[in-house]
Every structure is written in structure tokens, then in C-alpha cells.
Chain A
Amino acid sequence: MERFKQKQMNQNENEADSAINGHFDGRVKIPGWSAGGAAGTPSTAPSSSVMESWREERTRSLEDNEMSLPSIAAAYTTILRGLGEDPQRQGLLKTPWRAATAMQFFTKGYQEKIIDVLNDAIFDEDHDEMVIVKDIDMFSMCEHHLVPIFGRVHIGYLPNKRVLGLSKLARIVEIYSRRLQVQERLTKQIAVAITEALQPAGVGVVIEATHMCMVMRGVQKMNSKTVTSTMLGVFREDPKTRDEFLTLIRS
């Protein structure tokens, strides 16, 4: 048992770097689909494999933010000069600091952990019909161009004896979207987080977003939208459930 735990700790540490954005790279654990927990974990109780991915270290603290602010601001001053602007003119005097603080806000998802947000709001409820929260406004940053992505998230899940406070779904979206993201990964992270927290019968997440990197530059297609979805559990296996979900979010 000891050696197993040791191995797991090492595994977590080695993967800490690639897990900074929590991107899973096939490390996804979906407890509860197969009896006895996900493959590869030694523990039999579902709750401890849930704790595992929640154990991903918070990569940033408020102190980190304060300490890195000057270097980020200096980088922004370089950028302003590099664009040919005069950083000393009135409108740009405090821009490096404002832009640095703004960028830290746009990536504040790195400071937060799911477990802090969800810990209290899981309730035992005998509801076994679909629960949907739709039209959750989402703002993220494209990790390739550092330009905003914004859109709407629709989340549906089929509870299995446990329901979640509704705003917590929106908070999960916030945590994962306020990062440097790729829309596909964002969708999956939200779905997996809900799965691990509640072990529901199924989860469906649909994101419809506009990417400024496509609208403001590059191809410059104003009206294009990107839609991604992740269906887990019964949403993936049963087409009727999926249909019901997709119809309800459309109306």
C-alpha cells in the first residue's frame, strides 16, 4: 500500500508540469462508470480517486501575483515600445500595470481549486431527471494568440442521488475558463470536474464561442462560432438522453 501511494505521489509530481492547466492527456479518471473505480488507481473507494485529481496543486497564490506584477508590467512596456507607441504619453502611462493586472485577472483560474468551490454545496436529493443550467456566459483567453474567447456554456447532468448547488456549475466554468485555454480542453475539463464531484449518471457540456483570434485577425470571419461538446456517461451511450439535452438547450 505504501509503495503504491509513493508511486502515485511521484506520478502526480511528474505530471504537475503538464497538469498546470489541468490538461489531462489521457490521464482522465472517470470513477463510477466501471465498478470499483477507474483503471490504474489502486484505491477501491471512489472518493479517493476523486480527491486525486483535485489534489492538483494550485499553481499561483496572491503573493505570486504581487511578486510577478513588476516583471509582467515591464514586459508590457516593451510591447508598447515594440509597437511604435510612446509609453510616456498620458493615455499609456499606467497601461503596463493595468494590462498586467488585467492579464492576471484573466488567468485567475490558476489560483483556484474545484475543491474549495464545491466542498459544501453537494446535497443528497432523490432527483433522477436531467438538470440543466444553460447560457452561462464564458470568457477565456486563447492560449495560442493571447486574445479573448467568449461565448456560452450549457451544462446538463443526470444526478445519481447527489445534486450540486446551481451556481457551483457556473463557478466550475469560471475556474476553468479563466485560464489560457483551448475550447476543446475547456469543455472536457468542465465535464470531468462535474463527474468527479458528483458521480452522476451522465454529464453533457456544450460550449458555443466566438474566437477573437479568428474575428479580429487571420481569416477575419465575423460571424463564425465554434461549438464543442463533451458527453459522458449516459449522455454518451443513450442517444435519447443526448437528444433531450440538446433540445432543451436549444429552446
Chain B
Amino acid sequence: MEYQKAAELNGLCNGKILTVDSKKVAVQHKNEISRKEAEDESRLPALEAAYTTILRGLGENTDRQGLLKTPLRAAKAMQFLAKGYHETIYDVLNDAIFDEDHEDLVIVKDIDMFSLCEHYLVPFFGKVHIGYLPSKKVVGLSKLARIVEIYSRRLQVQERLTKQIAMAISEALQPVGVAVVIEAAHMCMVMRGVQKINSRTVTSAMLGVFREDPKAREEFLALTKGAQ
């Protein structure tokens, strides 16, 4: 059932363990089956109809010039914003893992991130800082940003997003440790509700040596501090 697969895809991390052997990794990667993009096309009419209902329910006149093609545009936009469900880590990372004798911190910071709040379907966006301590294997730098893209272009909760990114990197590289920090502004808090414009939410996921060794964590946080 495709719903169940989607639930696994974006579901709770289910306590997947950090130290997995490569066979298990391959199996887990294959379980995240990607949806075909043709499915998107076939779902478009239903989404369009839903958006037309919404516009009418809000009291707007769906025949006025500015709104004529809005249901189609909004449906396509929403599909784009949820395109992370299509993609798997396996596809993105497969070739870009290299054997390198580097044993010091690698950080990619200030990765712009845009996601959708799963509670209100309103955007939240911010920056992601990723650091990892390689253990004989390094990954192509843009792949870290691609991992962020895959998991952020879904209906998300910031805590889960942070953990998923960290888990994906650990499973792919088996590094000594992974650290992910996300700082984001949530439109559901800014545009509505409490309406606190300057508030930011910061979440972090520290795995491996970053969790156990305070010095490693300090170094990571110090190097990403000048970021914002």
C-alpha cells in the first residue's frame, strides 16, 4: 500500500541504529522505494479540484483573471514542495563516496532549507549546518546538500528532519560522528497564531562522537557559529 510506504519514508525514525553493516544499509536503502513521477501527473486533477474547492470556500471568485489557473499552479507548486517523497538517498549518494584518509571535521554550513510544516501546510525555512568526522570515507560535498533537499521537501517536523538528515549520513558513510544543526523560521508561528516575527527554532542531532565527546561538539558549534 503506497500510504504505508510513504509513512515509512517520512515516518518516525523508528530508532534505526547508527552502526549498521553495509548489507543492512543496502536493504534499508532499497526499502525506501521511490514513487514514479508519472504518478504526479495522474494525481494533478484531484489536487486541482481540491484547490478550487478551497478558493471557493474562502469566498473568492474562481473565475476572475488572477485566479483562473491558480488551482493548477498551486497543485504543481505543492507537488514540487513535496518532491522529496520521490527521491531516495540511494540514488543520490551512490557514486560520490570516496576513500580518503582524512580524520578531521568536515563541515558544510549555511545550506538554505525550505520545508513544509506538516501541521499547517505552511512553509518553514532556514539554514542547515552539517558536520561529520569521517572514518576513511568522505562524501561529495554537494551530496550533503542533496540529502537536505530530499528530506526537507516533504511534510515535516523540524525535529524529525534534523534526525533524518543525521541518520542518512551515518548510514551512508559510517563516520565516527555526525552533527546536524537546523535554525529555521516557522511561518505558522510568524504569519498566524502567536505572530512572533523574529523567533527562530533551533534543533540539533548529534550522533557518535559528537554525542559522547563534548570537545568535538564544541569544535563543531564554534565553527558553525559565525554562520548566521
Task: Please list the residues of chain A having a beta carbon within 8 angstroms of any beta carbon in chain B.
Answer: 17-18, 20-21, 23, 59-60, 64, 68-69, 71-72, 74-76, 78-86, 88-89, 91-92, 94-95, 98-100, 102-107, 110, 137, 139, 143-148, 150, 180, 182, 212-213, 215-217, 222
Sample (17) of A-B pairs whose CB atoms are under 8 Å apart: A17-B64, A21-B66, A60-B59, A75-B49, A76-B121, A79-B78, A83-B78, A85-B3, A86-B4, A91-B118, A91-B155, A100-B57, A105-B192, A146-B51, A216-B81, A217-B80, A217-B81
CB atoms of B61 and A212 under 8 A apart = no
Least Cβ–Cβ distance between B93 and chain A, in angstroms: 22
B-side interface residues toward A, CB under 8 Å? Answer: 2-4, 6-7, 10-11, 35, 39, 43, 46-47, 49-51, 53-61, 63-64, 66-67, 69-70, 73-75, 77-82, 85, 112, 114, 118-123, 125, 155, 157, 187-188, 190-192, 197
Cβ of B69: which chain A residues have Cβ within 8 Å of it? 144
Pairwise interchain contact B190-A20, C-beta atoms closer than 8 A: no
Q: Is the CB of A102 within 8 A of B192?
A: yes
User: What are the residues of chain B within 8 A of A94 when measuring CB–CB?
Assistant: 119
* Residue from A17, A72, A102, A145 within 8 A of B53 (CB atoms): A72
- Chain B residues lying within 8 Å of A72, measured Cβ to Cβ, are 53-54, 57-58
Specify the chain A residue showing the minimal Cβ separation from B45.
Answer: A82
Contact across chains for A216 and B123 when beta carbons are under 8 A apart = yes
If the complex has contacts A72-B57, A150-B191, are A180 and B3 also in contact, measured as CB distance less than 8 A?
A: no
Check B64 against A145 for contact (C-beta < 8 Å).
no
8 closest residue pairs by CB, A with B = A68-B57, A75-B50, A86-B3, A75-B53, A72-B57, A78-B50, A146-B74, A60-B59
| Chain B contact residues, majority secondary structure | helix
In angstroms, Cα B11 to Cα A84, docked, is 13
CA distance A137 to B6 in the complex (A): 37
Q: Closest Cβ of chain A: how far from B80's Cβ, in Å?
A: 5
A225 to B115 alpha-carbon distance, docked (Å) = 20
Closest A residue to B69 by CB, please name it: A144
Task: Out of A85, A148, A215, A222, name the residue touching B6 (CB < 8 Å).
Answer: A85
Query: In the docked arrangement, what's the CA distance between A79 and B119, Å?
Result: 13
Contact status of A95 and B119, CB under 8 A, knowing A110-B58, A145-B77: yes
CB atoms of B53 and A106 under 8 A apart:
no
CB distance from B57 to the nearest CB of A (A): 4
Give A54 to B130 CA distance when docked, in angstroms. Answer: 54
List 16 other contacts, CB 8 Å, given A75-B54, A216-B125.
A17-B61, A21-B64, A68-B59, A79-B51, A81-B46, A83-B155, A84-B39, A88-B3, A89-B7, A91-B119, A91-B157, A94-B119, A95-B120, A139-B190, A145-B74, A217-B77
A210 to chain B, nearest CB (A): 10
Task: State whether B60 touches A20 (Cβ < 8 A).
Answer: yes
B188 neighbours in A (Cβ, 8 Å): 102
A215 to chain B: closest residue by CB: B114
Are B46 and A78 in contact, CB atoms less than 8 angstroms apart? yes
Q: A17-B64, A83-B155, A89-B11 are in contact. Are A147 and B50 (CB under 8 A)?
A: no
Q: What's the minimum C-beta distance from A221 to chain B, rounded to whole angstroms?
A: 11
CA distance A21 to B114 in the complex (A): 29
Contact partners of A23 in chain B: CB under 8 A: 66
Query: In whole angstroms, how far apart are the Cα atoms of A60 and B54 in the complex?
Result: 14
User: Is the pair A110, B121 in contact by a Cβ cutoff of 8 Å?
Assistant: no
Give the residues in chain A near B191, CB-CB below 8 Å: 106, 139, 148, 150
Docked-complex contact B112 and A222, CB < 8 angstroms? yes
- Asked, given contacts A17-B61, A84-B2, whether A92 binds B118 with beta carbons under 8 Å apart, the answer is yes
Contact of B79 among A80, A83, A137, A144 (CB under 8 A): A83
